[in-house]
Structure 1
Amino acid sequence: MDGVQLALPILGIVAAAAVTFYAVSFTELSEKSFRDLEDSENSENEGFKSSLSSRERRARRKSEKQAKS
């Protein structure tokens, strides 16, 4: 058997394994990304609330002052 005849099938198997590995890895990463996206949407109300706008701060101070009076 010639060296090329032996190397060609081995290279084909290695190439198929590499393509399969990257395809499976990509699928797992995309599934994880979608799960993370769904989790972030579900916990949107529970998570960090952005800081109040200046209008909201003024309204809150005004209501606190009125409550004290």
Structure 2
Amino acid sequence: MDGIQQLGLPLLGVVAAAAVTFYVVSFNELREKSFRDLDDAEDDENGGFKPYMRSRGRRAKRKADKQNKP
């Protein structure tokens, strides 16, 4: 009985730690993926919120503004 406890308890602890680590990493990846999907969905919609304008968009806007000035 003493041999089982000396080997079994540490082995059980390692298995439990591995299971907890697996679930934490899995849920973290799912959370990150859902945030990425949410961001992609907002970018795809017309008129979606864009926190910044890309440089190509800024250049096009400046060029259009210059051409529209009288």
Interval of TM-score (by shorter of Structure 1 and Structure 2): 0.5 to 0.7
Q: Distance in 2 between matches of 1:44 and 1:36?
A: 12
- Any runs of at least 4 consecutive aligned residues in structure 1 with deviations exceeding 6 A, and if so which? none
Q: Summarize deviations over 1:10-55 as a string: whole Å, max 9, x none.
A: 0000000000000000000000000000000000119xxxxxxxxx
Structure 1 unmatched ranges of 5 or more: 47-69
Two-structure CA RMSD over aligned residues (Å): 1.5
Sequence identity (%) = 67
Task: State the structure with bigger RCO (CA 8 A, min sep 6), 1 or 2.
Answer: 2
Q: TM-score, length-normalised on structure 2? A: 0.62
Amino acid at match of 2:31: S
Name the structure 1 match of 2:44: 43
Structure 2 unmatched ranges of 5 or more: 48-70
Q: How many residues align?
A: 46
